[in-house]
Amino acid sequence: MTNAADAEQDRLILDSLGRFLEREVKPHVHALEHDDVYPEAIVEAMKSLGLFGATIGAEYGGLGLSATTYAKICELVSTVWMSLAGIFNSHLIMAAAVERFGTPEQKAEFLPRFATGELRGGLALTEPDCGTDLQAIRTTARRRGNDTYVINGTKMWISNGIHGQMFALLVKTDPATEPRHRGMSLFLAAKGPGFAVSRKLEKLGYKGIDTAELTFTDYEVPADRLIGGAEGRGLQHALGGLELGRINVAARGVGLAQAALDEAIAYAQVRHAFGKPIWEHQAIQLKLADMATQVEAARLLTERAAGIYDRGERCDLEAGMAKLFASEAAVNVSLEAMRIHGSYGYSKEFNIERYYRDAPLLLIGEGTNELQRIIIARQLIARNKV
């Protein structure tokens, strides 16, 4: 496609998505979020829009969208309800692991079903005693015969854990090997005997999306579900998908921050104090200027990371920067929007308190911001050796 054709495609996709969000999501967000209800009807509609196949190649029935376009989709969705972006993003990280590293048979069998949303799921990495340090996982997969592995262990904070059907599951196939990552493998694990959802995890924000603890007790998985067909590559496969995940988290931060900024700008024009709209007071002007600058800077960082990903280049530095800055911007802007709204910002009748509760998740998800800083620093040195 030419650049003009790409731009027109983006416009059509985003216009269609915007109408859907306005018509099908906005009227229901407040009630669904308040009651922490999984948005089944909205998820069915997202299937029809192709969101569960957004980044999956067209040859497998997906939309084959670039990371740049995908980031715009995540941003737009997050201006209305950030949780929805999490529902399809976790699923697409699983799909990306299969598309980038899976065997031809795995791609042919699963990607078309992932693309339609018929088979949905996510990424099962984190454990009760292990988050950022993935090499410390304890879930094991033991080979039994030529065609089966037996898995035992627990996974924690798994998005789509209750309503998803299949997960990219990170395990230790050789717990004793050093370095530890060489003993790690990634499986496609479908729900069945030995695979249980042990509990739903309650959260401060990020409601609606189901987050669960998963347990595996002598769970049997066919050997042909080992992604790539060879043991010892699981950590690399998982981390490869997290580049796209961090771009998604950054885009979510941009969307949430933009929504908070938009509401603050509107409120500042209708709320009066000391005889004039509060936007005319210098204290509010300074806040709005800083908020808008943070949103735009976060958007540009996200677009840059997505562009590098689209070129097939390594982008852990750029994705880390985008995720770090955009998530911090979301927290800062949502807090400033609450201050501008005063008491109304603290009320559950308004959206501002939801933005304020949702934003901190972005500081933690897809690798904490402390980890992002370490990655950024290491990449700076690696790319600028003296």
| Nearest-angstrom CA–CA distance, 117 and 111 | 10
The separation between the first and the last C-alpha atoms of the chain, rounded to the nearest angstrom, is 41
**d(Cα 78, Cα 73) in Å, to the nearest integer?**
9
Hey, CA dihedral for 240, 148, 173, 217, is it positive or negative? positive
Catalytic residue, chosen from 75, 99, 243, 366, is 366
Q: Give the three-class secondary structure for 286.
A: helix
In 3-state terms, what secondary structure has residue 315? coil
174 phi and psi angles, rounded to 5 deg: -145, 85
The single-letter DSSP state of residue 130 is: B
216 pairs with which residues across the strands?
Answer: 153, 195
Q: Tokens 């790409």 sit at which residue? A: 6
Q: What would the two tokens of residue 18 be?
A: 């915007």
Residue 32, token pair as written in the block: 């669904």
Q: Which of 319, 317, 313, 301 is CA-nearest to residue 376?
A: 317
Contact yes or no for 131/95 (Cβ under 8 A): no
Annotated catalytic residue 336: no
Distance CA 83, CA 361 (A): 10
- Cβ–Cβ under 8 Å, residues 252 and 259: no
The phi and psi torsions of 127 (rounded to 5 degrees) equal -130, 165
Calpha distance 116→322 (Å, rounded): 29
- E-assigned strand segments in the chain: 121-124, 140-144, 148-159, 166-172, 184-190, 195-200, 211-222, 272-273, 276-277
- Selection from 37, 150, 123, 2 nearest residue 365 by Cα: 123
Six token digits for residue 289: 């200027």
Distance CA 316, CA 314 (A): 6
Q: Known catalytic residues?
A: 366
